[in-house]
Chain A
């Protein structure tokens, strides 16, 4: 319905492992951002990509990295997973001159 799809929807990883989360946006949505939402908290901005370049970053360490591709898909990579990385990871996109931001359904990551 929003045109933003994320995968996987749920996954479990072990501390120290690496994870890649994926997002596919609507055609023409040049700006994509990623958020982390821990239980009981509001989403926290991780970073933003515009035309395949990072152009904004929140207060997250370098082990959180991303990529955006020409086909309006993007990735969030997290290295050296920690227990506190357990959260809902949301991808959001916006395109054109509109101000509406659309969220995907999110990826639930559990680190054990």
Chain B
């Protein structure tokens, strides 16, 4: 079983709509959780960390469910510039560089 599982999509989203996707992780001892954004042929960039209480950054909301071992990301009022691959990332230790990535959710925002 892979450490982090994501449905790659693509998710075709009309501009202005809301899109949400989850990922699941297998290591119950995982400590740190993130969403990274990766544009085509570019490096991953941190979108947001994910906290147990859930957190929001503008149009982006992340949730963590430790009991069910899944993480979610919701994007409201989608913009064309949101088109990218969103990578779910888990780390077993706080402050450790060893990150486990999912395959990514490919989002295509359509005008």
Residues of A within 8 A of B (CB): 2, 31-33, 35, 40-45, 48, 56, 58, 88, 90, 92-94, 97, 99-101, 103-106, 108
Contacts and interface: CB of A to CB of B under 8 A. Distances in A.
Contact of B97 (A88, A101, A104): A101
Contacts of B32: 99
Contacts of B104: 42
Contacts, number: 59
B95 A42 contact: no
A48 B98 contact: yes
B97 A42 contact: no
16 contacts: A41-B103, A42-B87, A42-B102, A42-B104, A43-B44, A43-B87, A43-B99, A43-B101, A56-B96, A92-B99, A97-B95, A101-B97, A101-B99, A103-B45, A104-B43, A106-B43
Given A56-B98, A92-B99, 12 more contacts: A2-B43, A32-B97, A33-B97, A41-B103, A42-B6, A44-B101, A45-B100, A48-B97, A90-B43, A94-B97, A105-B43, A108-B41
Contacts of A44: 101
Nearest to A103: B43
Contacts of A2: 43
A91 to B, nearest CB: 9
Contacts of A48: 96-98
A7 to B, nearest CB: 14
B50 to A, nearest CB: 12
Contacts of B61: none
Contact of B98 (A45, A88, A97): A45
Contacts of B97: 31-33, 48, 56, 92-94, 101
Contact of B103 (A42, A58, A92): A42
